[in-house]
């Protein structure tokens, strides 16, 4: 487990560097990344500079280059809620932009169900335990981000719309990058100034002490994580259920891949044409599965019966913002609820890995797939009509969703916005076959 620690300024990073053991420095994109250990946990820490873009650049490098398993944004903030006092600390349960139109995030990439980034519940729980040990006032609630100092007029507007505890210039951007990369995130910000005592002078006067408090809370969070580490970002970890083994596809699975993906009946509702021979199966295995396992994280499973360990189907979750669940099974195994058992295990792993939600779609002419979705806890949200490629046929899809974080009723709206013909159906569900 490696944790990324992001600070906006050098004064906020300084308390961490004084504690960092075995430090080493790497420079990239005009930033200095400090690797070492804190509380016995490997960390990569840096200050990125003020503003959203700087924070986003730094977090993406933490994820891509240093392979961090979570990001903690530690430092200072301005208080927004009048109940707060200087040197109180805010643990962000949610982060939002106060200077970005909400539909930019819901109607365009990353097509969020709601324009709020949720902190990882495991990191929040560690922060709650750490807060009880710190002996200082810690608040849990919303934080807003924007690239401006907030005057009284804008303060009232922001309070009315977002009711935030604190405001800064980086948290939502860092959370945004973590969201699209499926990396756990938490922000811990100590208050340096309030409306009644604001200004650059007040910030500078209080920054050193506030940064030390944020550092102290972060170290306690790391101690909690050391007791119960976050799952590492892993790609398709082995899963075992009552009847099944869910594993990665392997180079020796060419024949099994051919038998799964060559059957026209199985392929009817899948987004590709049936494989014609073992040569195509070998190519598909390499391009769709084996090369995918080189990524740092993901979910592309071979579904195998325990008796022989040979793949008879697959379950996967897409890497894009839809987190789309897909599955297929050789027809001789239909009617045994194997797909339901496998998909339920993969959803549990996705939840444990920090995915905020998963969606799934099925052709309305394939109601059996919809029954699987219902039996693994997903609920129908809406339907839409698509000219489906590569088969170039008109299909009415039903979209299902399950949320692991935030509002259970929040809806992924990308397909609704993308396809003009969309609607909500009323139909009777059937029992699982």
What three-state secondary structure class fits 78?
A: strand
Contact call for residues 172 and 97 (beta carbons, < 8 A): yes
Work out the angle between the directed axes of helices 52-64 and 171-181 (0-180°, nearest 10).
30
Q: Mark whether 193 is an active-site residue.
A: yes
Cα separation, 258 vs 261, in Å, equals 5
Work out the angle between the directed axes of helices 367-375 and 338-352 (0-180°, nearest 10).
50
Strand 185-193 relative to strand 70-79: parallel, antiparallel, unpaired? parallel
Nearest Cα to 404, choosing from 182, 241, 224?
182
Torsion of CA 10, 16, 22, 25, to 10 degrees: -20
Nearest Cα to 342, choosing from 268, 238, 262?
238
Active-site residue identified among 69, 88, 170, 193:
193
Q: Mark whether 81 is an active-site residue.
A: no
Contact call for residues 396 and 363 (beta carbons, < 8 A): yes
What is the CA 390 to chain-centroid distance, rounded?
A: 29
What three-state secondary structure class fits 317?
A: strand
Contact call for residues 182 and 297 (beta carbons, < 8 A): yes
| Catalytic residue ranges | 12, 193
């Amino acid at each position: 487990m490696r944790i990324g620690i992001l600070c906006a300024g050098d004064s906020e990073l300084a308390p961490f560097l004084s504690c960092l053991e075995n430090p080493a420095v790497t420079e990239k994109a005009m930033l200095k990344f400090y690797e070492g250990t804190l509380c016995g946990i490997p960390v990569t820490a840096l200050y990125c500079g003020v503003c959203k873009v700087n924070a986003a650049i730094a977090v993406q490098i933490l994820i891509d280059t240093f392979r961090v398993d979570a990001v903690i944004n530690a430092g200072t903030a301005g208080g927004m809620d009048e109940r707060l006092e200087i040197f109180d600390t805010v643990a962000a349960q949610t982060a939002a932009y106060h200077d970005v139109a909400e539909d930019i995030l819901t109607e365009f990439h990353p097509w969020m169900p709601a324009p709020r980034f949720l902190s990882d519940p495991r990191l929040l729980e560690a922060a709650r335990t750490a807060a009880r040990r710190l002996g200082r006032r810690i608040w849990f609630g919303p934080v807003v981000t924007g690239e401006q100092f907030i005057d009284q007029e804008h303060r009232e507007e922001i309070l009315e719309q977002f009711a935030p505890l604190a405001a800064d210039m980086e948290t939502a951007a860092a959370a945004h990058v973590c969201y699209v990369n499926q990396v756990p995130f938490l922000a811990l910000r100590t208050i340096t100034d309030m409306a009644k005592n604001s200004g650059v002078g007040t910030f500078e006067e209080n920054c050193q002490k506030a940064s030390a408090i944020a550092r102290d809370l972060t170290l306690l969070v790391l101690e909690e994580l050391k007791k119960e580490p976050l799952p590492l970002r892993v790609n398709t970890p082995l899963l075992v259920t009552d009847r099944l083994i869910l594993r990665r596809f392997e180079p020796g699975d060419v024949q099994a891949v051919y038998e799964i993906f060559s059957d026209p009946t199985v392929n009817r509702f899948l987004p590709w044409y049936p494989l014609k021979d073992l040569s195509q199966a070998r190519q598909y295995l390499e391009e769709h599965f084996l090369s995918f396992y080189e990524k740092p994280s993901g979910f592309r499973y071979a579904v195998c019966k325990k008796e022989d360990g040979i793949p008879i189907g697959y379950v996967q979750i897409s890497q894009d913002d839809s987190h789309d669940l897909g599955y297929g099974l050789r027809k001789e195994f239909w009617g045994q609820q194997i797909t339901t058992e496998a998909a339920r295990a993969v959803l549990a792993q996705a939840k444990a890995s920090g995915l905020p939600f998963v969606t799934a779609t099925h052709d309305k002419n394939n109601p059996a797939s919809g029954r699987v979705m219902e039996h693994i806890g997903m609920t129908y949200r809406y339907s839409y009509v698509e000219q489906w490629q590569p088969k170039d046929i008109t299909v009415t899809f039903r979209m299902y969703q399950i949320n692991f974080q935030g509002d259970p009723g929040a809806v992924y709206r990308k397909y609704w916005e993308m396809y003009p013909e969309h609607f909500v159906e009323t139909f009777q569900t059937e029992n699982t076959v």
